[in-house]
Structure 1
């Protein structure tokens, strides 16, 4: 259902139900949340890639489990439980890259939006398909997407439930890079490996400040910035980076150029 592999400090978390385009059942979402929490606690893991088994990322929630009458209170409790992966990813201090091939529909799109970056194949397709089923977007999409593309564009994508090709998603700023399908895994791993050598403390503090940027006023942000920068400026990572700079050696961290963009 959910599988995890770890190589050179990079964990790949795979949504596994290829026959159903990795549709997420309640059990799969619970396993997904548990896997994220395990990676949070694993000190050997420095970055995470989210991907799907087969040729798709995730087609959304398991529609077969939504049919028939149900008790509203019970469904609400189930929905709160299904939000566990979002809560886990929202406070996940390590870099997360979503490698999206094929469809990222409904909850699959929502999950991808929880990553720090989305790298997509040329055949990737995104859709907040909830309105097609008379549903409200869930798993945090109404929080994450407006912060990327603004409220007006979010309304259009939510209300229309139309599909976005990878190129349009890139143009809107949802996708960081579009690469040929056969290069997707390698590029996601290349980015994750590069980010894994950043200072874990500086990255975690930066990610937390970015998550709060729309909730803090400017003065509060500057105050928080001073506190975390004091930690970063007295870290062993900074001392090593500065020494390498003085010796004119290669830096510890360098963003890998994309030579595969489709």
Structure 2
């Protein structure tokens, strides 16, 4: 099949009507750097024009879905334009994934944190291994969520609960995330649950399902684009704060940050 290939950071395998897109930086818990983000965008766009694929599974490796944005890469960023370029790549990934004319499933084991969690929320269905962990933990380094998290969380749990979840930034178990309405399934055997979900979808009139998705995506596109743009420029401002600098220092020094509200 034309989409079967393996790169250093993104693998794609096609089996019948299902494409599996795998983030593959296990040594970094699949932290998302610019190269991986651009790779995901490129692969998803290729898949989007295939009439042979109806379902896309987004997955990580055995120990992690994605630990979020690559903080080490962030530390090396000195150029504001490079930062904005990365934010543009993130926004393109989210729009591409959200509007993909396929049914999308996130299969999550290990952590789905920060941007990794945002990406999962952009898919249609989330299946989590019972031992998976979820965290919208940008607040821990003095940043705001990006990747459209404000949009997806408000849609999933409402604005008031979304604010509390963002401000707390705590790590949740799969069961906690399920109870909050942030994931759809928790499984003892992730592979088995994923196979069952795919089989269920493939027995349905899936083109009708995709058409419904496309209608919702088109209706919500202006709102999502606005949120992504607001996140982009707000995140740039947050990077200039004392609290963000302290959050990064505390992260690298493996200690609790001492924020001052500036």
TM-score with structure 2 length normalisation? 0.77
1:167 equivalent in alignment to 2:170: no
Q: Cα deviation per residue 1:51-84 (whole Å; 9 max; x = unaligned)?
A: 1012211000111111156232331122112322
Q: How many pairs were matched up? A: 214
Report the Cα distance in structure 2 between the residues aligned to 1:38 and 1:196, rounded to whole angstroms. 21
1:9 equivalent in alignment to 2:17: yes
- What residue number does 1:116 align with? 124
Please give the residue correspondences for 1:1-262 in structure 2 after superposition, counting only pairs within 5 Å.
1-68=9-76, 70-180=78-188, 183-211=189-217
Report the Cα distance in structure 1 between the residues aligned to 2:25 and 2:154, rounded to whole angstroms. 29
On the 8 A contact 2:175/2:186 being kept in 1, the answer is yes
Report the Cα distance in structure 2 between the residues aligned to 1:96 and 1:66, rounded to whole angstroms. 29
Structure showing greater radius of gyration is: 1
- Cα–Cα, structure 1 residues 153 and 125, in superposed 2: closer, same or farther, change >3 Å? same
On the 8 A contact 2:12/2:21 being kept in 1, the answer is yes
Shift of residue 145 of structure 1?
1.1
Shift of residue 212 of structure 1?
5.7
- Cα–Cα, structure 1 residues 5 and 215, in superposed 2: closer, same or farther, change >3 Å? closer
Report the Cα distance in structure 1 between the residues aligned to 2:78 and 2:25, rounded to whole angstroms. 25
- What residue number does 1:241 align with? none
Shift of residue 157 of structure 1?
1.2
On the 8 A contact 2:117/2:136 being kept in 1, the answer is yes
Q: Cα deviation per residue 1:142-164 (whole Å; 9 max; x = unaligned)?
A: 11111001111111111111111
On the 8 A contact 2:99/2:217 being kept in 1, the answer is no
Shift of residue 135 of structure 1?
1.3
Is 198-207 or 129-138 further displaced after alignment?
Answer: 198-207
- Cα–Cα, structure 1 residues 101 and 215, in superposed 2: closer, same or farther, change >3 Å? closer
On the 8 A contact 2:77/2:83 being kept in 1, the answer is no
On the 8 A contact 1:10/1:196 being kept in 2, the answer is no
